[in-house]
Amino acid sequence: MRFLKGLFWVLLAVAIVAIAVYLTGELALSDRLTNFYLLVQAWLPLTLAFDQFLVALTVACVLLVLLILLGCTGLVLAISASRQQQVNAALAARQETDRVTEHHRRQYEHLRTMAQALTKQLDKRVLVQGIIEAASRMTSVLQANTVVSLWLVHFETDAIRFERGFYCDEALFAQTEFQPTDQPFSQVISTQQPWIAETGIDGLAFLRREKLQQLGGATRAMMVPLIIENAILGYLMLFCHPEVLKSYEAQQAFYGALWSELSLALAIAVQGEVAILDRLTGVHNREYFMKRLIQELERANRYRLPLSLLMIDIDNFKLVNDMLGHPQGDAVLKIISKLLKKSVRVIDLVGRYGGEEFVVMLPETGFGEEAAGRAGGAAHVAERIRQAVDDEFRGLQKPLNLTVSVGVVCRRFPEDREHDYQELIRLADEQLYKAKTTGKNKVCIHLPDSAQPVPG
């Protein structure tokens, strides 16, 4: 192989020499060089012999050839480097695409897992907590966790109220209730698209300036409407790191899917709440109340706890409907429902039993610390409810000078452990009937041996 390569180069050199000899004779190159020498000699400042001139010309030609070769070599290297850069850039772009694709795949996998976990829940509190945690987790970066708050639309008044926060509470905001005309809610309502603050959070009027430091590196704000069938159920207010917003446009498809899943979860939470609430009054409906009463009785047996039940009826309510009409009667029911909810603890449960009759369950409440034979705790709550209604409607013209009658039963443990929910309802209803038939506007309590009224 080496012999053949050497032979090739020898033959190439011989061919070049032969071509040069041929061209020299064919083109009369010697005559042309002589004429060129004589022409140049007249312009040179020194005298050169013809052989010196030939040497100088040869060297100049060699240098020119070298320059051309260097230029070609540089051009080839530049083209090669450019192509290598293009290849490297294409490879890097492909790697970045693969990385982003894998990142998005993991994100969508997390999103799918999150959606499955959320949609399995029916409890509103659990769902709301899951929504804000998921929104924070999916939008957080290494530099800062995203601070999230959820605001729900109350459809009776259209007010937008703070529901719950993650890494924040209602103290961060200037107020906990906004109207649809307030910014930035009005803008989100008109566009039904996420709102992004173009500047930092310093100029946002709905935040308390003295609380901004708790946001840390989350110095950018955005508001996302949670929409189902063109209806906004609530809003996510997110405070995130600037890097999140930089990538928002590029990952808009992912974030759109995220907001859709969270909207669905919120719809389930709202629907679940609607399913257990009385639509008119906003307290729990009878079916859900009975289910919870059974559960609380089981818990009371397990932990050896007392439990009390109140049956409440609005006195002379029929006159309101007959004289003023059902719309006014509905308004009365809403007012009394609010009074009931304000008069009890968070762990207590208020339900509408039917018509103008309500029922209240008081877990872990019985005779209290007073002497046996008196239902101190439950009686106190019942009297507070009676007094609140009396104060609300006192001084109004008939038939709006309303009062309530209350029947109370306390289930002791272990003395009354055999009393099931039906027995409690029966005993409380008996006391309610006694209160209604002995003057109204009073509380009657079932005691182990007898029942006696508590005068209003």
Beta strands in 132-179 (DSSP E): 147-154, 159-166, 177-178
Spatial CA neighbour of 435 closest among 319, 338, 311, 286: 311
Strand partners, 173: 207
Angle subtended at Cα 20 by Cα 17 and Cα 24, rounded to the nearest 5 degrees:
140
Active site residue 356: yes
Residue showing tokens 């257990």 = 276
DSSP string, 225-288: EEEETTEEEEEEEEEE-HHHHHTTTTTHHHHHHHHHHHHHHHHHHHHHHHHHB-TTT-SBPHHH
Each as own residue / partner, the long-range contacts of residues 288-297 (CB below 8 Å, 24 or more positions apart, any chain) are 288/351, 289/349, 289/351, 289/353, 289/359, 289/361, 290/421, 292/349, 292/361, 293/349, 293/361, 293/421, 293/424, 294/421, 296/349, 296/361, 296/363, 297/411, 297/420, 297/421, 297/424
Which residue among 170, 356, 357, 392 is the active-site one? 356
The rounded Cα 321 to chain-centroid distance in angstroms is: 44
Q: Which residues are catalytic?
A: 356
